[in-house]
Structure 1
Amino acid sequence: MPNKNKNKNKKSSNRKINRQKEDEELNKLQDRINNYNPKTDESTISQFDDLPITSNTIKGLKESSFISLTDVQKKTIPISLKGYDVLGTAKTGSGKTLAFLIPVIESLVRNKITEFDGLAALIVSPTRELAIQIFEVLTKIGKYNSFSAGLVTGGKDLKFEKERVSKMNILVGTPGRLSQHLNESIGMETSNLQLLVLDEADRCLDMGFKKQIDNIISHLPPTRQTLLFSATQSDSVKELARLSLTNPQRIGISTDEEISNTPESLDQYYIKIPLEEKLDILWSFIKSHLKSKILVFFSSSKQVQYAYETFRTLQPGISLLKLYGRHKQTSRMETTYKFSNAQHACLFATDIVARGLDFPAIDWVIQLDCPEDVATYVHRVGRSARFGRNGKSLLMLLPSEEDGFLKRLKLHKIEPKLMNIKQKLKKSIKPQLQSLCFKDPIMKYLGQRAFIAYFKSVYIQKDKDVFKIDELPAESYAASLGLPGAPKIKVKGGDSESNKEKKNTSRQVLALSKLDENGEETIPNIDKIKTKYDRMFDRKNQTILSDHYLKMTGNKATTNQDSDDDFMTIRRKDHELNEDELPDLSIPVSKRQAKKALSKKISLSSKGNPTKLKFDDDGNPHAIYELENEEDFKKLGDANEQKKKFVEQEREMMKISDLNDKEVARLKRKEKKRKRKEIEQRMREEDEYYSDDEVIATLGTPDLEKDMVFEEKEEPVNKKPKWFESENNKKDKYDIIEVNEPETLEDLESLTAKLIGN
């Protein structure tokens, strides 16, 4: 007993000593933070060791290879540690992620947050990929701390997240899913929240998440610290900062209150090409840069799908990947991981990857479609030349877009160089695309969707001085996609802001509020609940939705009666008939007649059972089951004798049939054996023909990985070597062949053939 008490006392004393050391370290760090002066002390800070942060955080940073501070980190981290609200603006690739993750970890350490204190920090990110990237960096640099952290994004199991979200100290997620948890998750308590981070706030607002962000802020206590990071200072961002920040410290804002500078190590180029040559130029560029890592931006996901499927079929010789918003979460994560770790690859993507994501060592950023504004251009090209690395970008501009967009770039001191296209390297893939669309209706349908999506993306742009939809060549662009003609385009009403909100609204919410013909919201009928099978059959694009396909399958009624496509089409019209004009067809019928007419049994009793006849060679009808006349049967003899005779006849017939079946089976076995011998003989001949160094290359995979498979030549079974094939027969350096003495005429002929061959 005394030993146990001594051990307990030692443990408790050790705990007290450790707590005292931790408190002393935190007090020293707090003194350093309080005495920090941004004007004088900023020049003395160059590495993370110089910051007033805990040793565990420094250890995690070193193991993650984070040593030196960037400019935005020097300015932001010390001020954030002092507890001020921060409104930060910096160019892309400047290290904003660590600028807010380090203050988050240090804030929780200094406030002594434990796993029982609930949610203490909330980090909001616009896209799933960026949220995953932030969470991965957080787990690396904070692995020596005892906090619990969670990642909540759309596309994951909501029930699984609800069971665990209440136990997290730090939550990283997208606005929609975080807002949903704050509204629905019972155990999610925010009264102890210390810090809120809004990363890429301008992108969150551009994507239509304003309502979700407002909802998140309404659930949080006003005494929190807020860090808001944005690439640009638009009016919506200023309004959000006014509502969510208290006396913020503005960091990184230039004189015109907008950062649009591109990395210094980035070489920027542009080319002027017609719309119908874009895919040809892209194909030629990829073919001439097979040893590069390329990121291609499109304006819509439909264009990404079509370009990916067609290029993958044509096989340019490099790994192809695609990434856009409507992908499943697992597929998006897998694509992001593959492209990050690939040395040579080409990723077709939308603007979902234009912000914040750090793909290592991208050589080229290709903008196939003109970006909507300068900020989007800066973020796109910022995927390359990150953290001082070299990179290149190429912008494809139409003749109608060139002057207007280059002027806007020049206003922000961005002047890309004009690149000339070598005609020798230019290749056209229009015939191949036409062939693909002709052979495969699904490929044609993807091309139609890509065509419509591009025209709609140009139509909804606000800057009409750059995007001129009237000057786009529809027919030639459709031909460049391999389509026989330009599809019809129907543009629905509504501004771009409402479309963004509708796109990011839950589908369940949209299903509950549908508009009637008068534009008023209708309450859904609870009795008519749609199952997943009902939704599957009501879905519009199940196969191919071109007009001619729907006419062919009869799924769509056409209104043009003079069309040649409606040949042999039946149009049924429902005419309204008045009851007064109809003749009286009622005839008095007795109960017995009515019962007889309705009863099948009574009806057959009067007419007799239905009979079926068969005809003989002379054309005389006979019943199917015709009984022999009794008198004729008695003339043939005793019934038992006739029975024995019939059985004997049938037995003899069975014996004959059995012999025939056995003969057929024997012939089949013989034929099977003959074919097997032919195959074995052919294999022996092939083994003799091919050498041991034969290499078989498997081609045709989507990524064109030329896997070389070496096949070992099998030795023939029970093959007795000839006399001249023995191991004793050796050939020396004087070309003298030593052989045994031939014993037979066959051996002599073989020796003669061998000598002639040498």
Structure 2
Amino acid sequence: MSKKLGKTSKPKKFPTKARKQVRKEQDENLENLENSVKDFVDSTKKGDLQVPAGLKKAFYQDMTDIQAQSIPISLKGRDVLGAARTGSGKTLAFLIPVLEILYRRKWGPQDGLGALIISPTRELAMQIFEVLRRIGGYHSFSAGLVIGGKSLKDESDRLSRMNILVATPGRLLQHMDQTIGFECGNVQVLVLDEADRILDMGFARSLNAIIEHLPKDRQTLLFSATQTQSVQDLARLSLKDPASIAVKEAGSSVATPKNLEQHYMVCELDKKLDVLYSFIKTHLKIKAIVFISSGKQVRFVFETFCRLQPGIPLLHLHGKQKQSKRLSIYQRFISCSHSILFATDIAARGLDFPSVDWVVQLDAPEDADTYIHRVGRTARYESAGKGLLLLLPSEEEGMIKALKDKGVGIQLIKAKQSKISTITHQIQSFAFKEPEIKYLGQKAFISYMKSVYLQKDKSIFSLEKLPVEKFAESLGLPGAPKIKFLNKDAAQKKKNTSLVIKQLSNSIDDDDDEESSSEEDEKIDSKHNSTTVRTKYDRMFERKNQDILSEHYNRLIDHADDRGNSDEEDFITLKRADHELEESTSLLPILPSKRKLKEVKSKKAMLKYGGTGTKLIFDDEGKPHEVYEMQDDNAFRKGDALGEGKRFAESERERLREADIIDKQVAKEKKREKKRKRKEREREAGETEGSVRAVLAKDDDDDDDGYESPEFQLSSSDETELSEAASVAPPPKRQRRVQDNLDSLAEEEALALRMLRGQ
């Protein structure tokens, strides 16, 4: 996406003297601008800088604190490390210096890329680009937007003509590596907006690679709402002697605005959706954002609440949506006067949603900085707003302490029980009727458990303290789904415990604890032998979500022996015998995993176990033997080795001779069958030719008009000979060619005879 910031028109043709006068005036204006910048004294008073025409047209009249403090320093060419609360006007704090610096340096289309602005998300990049279009209408710079989800080829065609580029890290690095003609060696200004979010989203390596492509004598502006350790490390690597600017409101020690009311509520995990639905039903004339930890939860809450029809427009925004859909939802929420937006943390940084009344955090943020960014979507600039945080009883103490350490003043409120509506039964009904809702509920359950499991601060987030079954019931599920990473951890702990027990048993002295160790081994062996083999059908019917046939199937396959051990009750009961081979005859090691069990079927994979399988022969007693089993040494010495060898060779020779006779007989039969089929085809061809001749003869009889030619009149003896010749069997194969010639002559004579008759 690209656009000329200024109006395009044909250049006017001035006389030579007039052109020189215009250039002289431009040079004087630039010189005066440079002198005013150099002589400018830093001040925090609004109105000290003249507001350009583009800002007046976009209705920007007065500067905010971060703008008044950072813009003069940026115009002097120094690097800036800025920190201010959300909604304080950081976007204009770096866009105004970018335009002014390029204008003072007479930047043109032939100079290439002059300014590069990097943002963490696509929505924030689009917002920056829109602000740049509004305030840059009187400049002739070309600006472009490079984000994921767009056509790479369309962007590559126009990328070399851009003067100002707004981009996300991933797509920008892709163009640097793949687009031919895209040069960044002349960049004058680099802007990193929401730098902490860029690093948190995993773009640290991409950002380092991008900085390597840029010149070292550039100017860098880094802005963020919070200053984390990673941001400080990035500033040390990419900024040269930066001017640190941290703007805080009077009477406040945090980055949250003073006109923001902050509350939190303690409720159980299975009651969160009830509280959220009740909040929406009692606030139908507001514009609110509800933050949820994962995209799968966002989809589930959005789909279920749409079916509940609370009476207010509902929207949802998460990272798995396509770029076009995210943009349309973003525009719809901005244009709505009353709406509820369910979103992940993709909407928590930098985005300017106008007139947001409430920010509800359904799931606790990962840290205090994330909380600050979330509530910053409301109470922006001079407007008021409210924030509500829902905490579990296990999260209350740790999260409130972390917020107080950041200086966030938050108050506890309690909900009226008479105002809370229970929607659990309705959600269960949706899940029973619609498999899609049930599937979304399962995914939402797993994603929430995984988000808690991956949290860094274990003093706040504890997976063991969560009411798992009740939470699954509140999502409309008949039971808690199985979670792979939890089962994996449990299996690993069990494996480690068994290894520790085995090591301890091996370290015990043989003299003192030999008997106890043998008893322990017997217990382990008996436990191993008693383990039943579970198939995929067992696992399928054990799933609690499939409650139609599971109970009936479990009764059919229940192997628990609840009937006692009396001989009378075991009457006509078939007991399975344990047919085990001796240790000496076992050919393969025990393969416990599925992957290794599959490898058994592959001959190539079996080579690492000592070769492929060996054929066994069982004797009358049921003992296995190899096909060519070696006898013991004593039995070998008793017999005649040479004689046995000769007899074995003679028997093998006789066996091969018999096999050769059988093979020759089979080949002979195949040859005879092939010859028979060929003769049959020849016989069928002869019969067809005879039928054709009979038809021709019949046609000749029908056309006979009684006239006989004296040259071709046949005698009675000749006719007799011809009839006898016709009754004779067809000639052999060697005379076929001669017979064909005779037939052709006979046909020619018959043709000539018919022609004469026609005369």
TM range (shorter): 0.5 to 0.7
Counterpart CA distance in 1 for 2:310 and 2:293 is 22
Pairing 1:68-147 to 2, within 5 Å after superposition: 68-147=62-141
Read off the aligned partner of 1:296 and give its amino acid letter.
Answer: V
Within the candidate set 19, 37, 40, 1:36 is matched to 40
**Partner residue, 1:740:** none
**Partner residue, 1:427:** 421
Q: 1:481, CA displacement in angstroms? A: 0.3
The 1:562–1:95 alpha-carbon spacing in structure 2 relative to 1, beyond 3 Å, is: same
Q: Deviations over 1:524-575 (max 9, x none)?
A: xxxxxxxxxxxxxxxxxxxxxx9749999xxxxx9xx9896899xxx99979
Counterpart CA distance in 2 for 1:595 and 1:344 is 91
**Partner residue, 2:28:** 24
Please say if residues 90 and 259 of structure 1, whose CA atoms lie closer than 8 Å, have aligned partners that are also in contact. no
Q: Deviations over 1:666-717 (max 9, x none)?
A: xxxxxxxxxxxxxxxxxxxxxxxxxxxxxxxxxxxxxxxxxxxxxxxxxxxx
Equivalent position SS for 1:294: strand
**Partner residue, 1:333:** 327
Q: 1:579, CA displacement in angstroms? A: 6.3
Pairing 1:187-266 to 2, within 5 Å after superposition: 187-252=181-246, 260-266=254-260
**Partner residue, 2:666:** 590
Structure 1: segments with no counterpart, 5+ residues:
1-6, 496-545, 553-557, 606-758
Equivalent position SS for 1:308: helix
Pairing 1:361-510 to 2, within 5 Å after superposition: 361-491=355-485
Counterpart CA distance in 2 for 1:223 and 1:150 is 23
Equivalent position SS for 1:424: helix
Please say if residues 356 and 377 of structure 2, whose CA atoms lie closer than 8 Å, have aligned partners that are also in contact. yes
Counterpart CA distance in 2 for 1:124 and 1:71 is 23
Read off the aligned partner of 1:436 and give its amino acid letter.
Answer: F
Q: Deviations over 1:187-233 (max 9, x none)?
A: 11122211000001011011110001101110111111000112222
Q: Deviations over 1:330-368 (max 9, x none)?
A: 111111111111111111100011010000101110000
Q: 1:260, CA displacement in angstroms? A: 3.7
Q: 1:10, CA displacement in angstroms? A: 3.9
Q: 1:161, CA displacement in angstroms? A: 1.1
**Partner residue, 1:288:** 282
Q: 1:261, CA displacement in angstroms? A: 2.6
Q: Deviations over 1:161-185 (max 9, x none)?
A: 1111111011101111111111221
Equivalent position SS for 2:20: helix
Read off the aligned partner of 2:175 and give its amino acid letter.
Answer: H
The 1:566–1:13 alpha-carbon spacing in structure 2 relative to 1, beyond 3 Å, is: farther
Counterpart CA distance in 2 for 1:146 and 1:563 is 80
Counterpart CA distance in 2 for 1:449 and 1:281 is 21
Read off the aligned partner of 1:136 and give its amino acid letter.
Answer: E
Equivalent position SS for 2:351: coil
Please say if residues 37 and 72 of structure 2, whose CA atoms lie closer than 8 Å, have aligned partners that are also in contact. yes
The 1:240–1:597 alpha-carbon spacing in structure 2 relative to 1, beyond 3 Å, is: farther
Q: 1:19, CA displacement in angstroms? A: 2.5
Counterpart CA distance in 2 for 1:133 and 1:237 is 23
Equivalent position SS for 2:273: helix
Q: Deviations over 1:304-323 (max 9, x none)?
A: 01111111122211111111
Task: Give me the TM-score of the superposition, normalised by structure 1.
Answer: 0.65
Counterpart CA distance in 2 for 1:180 and 1:307 is 35
Counterpart CA distance in 2 for 1:277 and 1:113 is 59
Structure 2: segments with no counterpart, 5+ residues:
1-10, 490-537, 545-549, 560-596, 603-611, 618-625, 628-654, 682-759
Please say if residues 290 and 361 of structure 2, whose CA atoms lie closer than 8 Å, have aligned partners that are also in contact. yes
Equivalent position SS for 1:197: strand
Q: Deviations over 1:115-165 (max 9, x none)?
A: 111010000000000000000000110011100110001111111111111
Residue 346 (str. 1) matches residue 340 (str. 2) = yes
Equivalent position SS for 2:234: helix
Q: 1:595, CA displacement in angstroms? A: 7.0
Counterpart CA distance in 1 for 2:461 and 2:675 is 76
Equivalent position SS for 1:107: helix
Equivalent position SS for 1:222: coil
Equivalent position SS for 1:388: coil
Q: 1:52, CA displacement in angstroms? A: 5.4
Matched residue pairs, number?
528
Q: 1:32, CA displacement in angstroms? A: 1.2
The 1:132–1:493 alpha-carbon spacing in structure 2 relative to 1, beyond 3 Å, is: farther
The 1:563–1:134 alpha-carbon spacing in structure 2 relative to 1, beyond 3 Å, is: farther
Equivalent position SS for 2:436: helix
The 1:548–1:312 alpha-carbon spacing in structure 2 relative to 1, beyond 3 Å, is: farther
The 1:51–1:486 alpha-carbon spacing in structure 2 relative to 1, beyond 3 Å, is: same
**Partner residue, 1:520:** none
Equivalent position SS for 1:386: coil
Q: 1:42, CA displacement in angstroms? A: 3.5
Q: 1:94, CA displacement in angstroms? A: 0.3
Counterpart CA distance in 1 for 2:20 and 2:277 is 68
Counterpart CA distance in 2 for 1:60 and 1:206 is 34
Equivalent position SS for 2:110: coil
**Partner residue, 1:51:** 49
The 1:19–1:369 alpha-carbon spacing in structure 2 relative to 1, beyond 3 Å, is: same
Q: Deviations over 1:399-455 (max 9, x none)?
A: 001111111112222222222212222111111111111112221111111001111
The 1:8–1:348 alpha-carbon spacing in structure 2 relative to 1, beyond 3 Å, is: closer
The 1:404–1:565 alpha-carbon spacing in structure 2 relative to 1, beyond 3 Å, is: farther
Residue 166 (str. 1) matches residue 170 (str. 2) = no
Counterpart CA distance in 1 for 2:390 and 2:539 is 33
Please say if residues 122 and 171 of structure 1, whose CA atoms lie closer than 8 Å, have aligned partners that are also in contact. yes
Task: Give me the TM-score of the superposition, normalised by structure 2.
Answer: 0.65
The 1:596–1:250 alpha-carbon spacing in structure 2 relative to 1, beyond 3 Å, is: farther
| RMSD (Å), alpha carbons | 3.6
Please say if residues 194 and 224 of structure 1, whose CA atoms lie closer than 8 Å, have aligned partners that are also in contact. yes
Read off the aligned partner of 2:302 and give its amino acid letter.
Answer: Y
Please say if residues 44 and 65 of structure 2, whose CA atoms lie closer than 8 Å, have aligned partners that are also in contact. no
Read off the aligned partner of 2:449 and give its amino acid letter.
Answer: F
Counterpart CA distance in 2 for 1:168 and 1:118 is 6
Equivalent position SS for 2:165: strand
